[in-house]
Amino acid sequence: MKLLKAVLSEIFGLFVDDDRLALGVLAMVASLALALKTGLVPALAGPFLLIGCALLLIENVWRSVSAAQAQKAKGKRS
């Protein structure tokens, strides 16, 4: 049972490693689905999704680099 729990936890971790990124993508998909229901031209959904996911990824990498640099600078001061 412990092995199954560990395996499922690792699989879940593959998809949701960064909560902020995962929630951002889910929010984007949900908002695009709502926009499509209310009249957004379907041909625009793909480009919006692509650009939105790219922006989320850039923000996520930027945040990770900033945190790593801050931690590195903190380590140098000690």
Q: Is the pLDDT of residue 78 over 70?
A: no
Percentage of residues in the chain having pLDDT higher than 90: 55
- Note the pLDDT of residue 13: 77
Hey, CA dihedral for 23, 49, 58, 15, is it positive or negative? positive
Q: For residues 78 and 37, which has the higher predicted lDDT (pLDDT)? A: 37
Sequence-ordered list of residues with C-beta below 8 angstroms from that of 60, at least 6 positions apart, any chain: 18, 20, 21
What's the mean per-residue pLDDT of the chain? 89
Is 61 or 74 the better-scoring residue by pLDDT?
Answer: 61
Q: Domain range for residue 57?
A: 2-77
> How many distinct structural domains can be found in the chain?
1
pLDDT bracket for residue 50 (50, 70, 90): very high
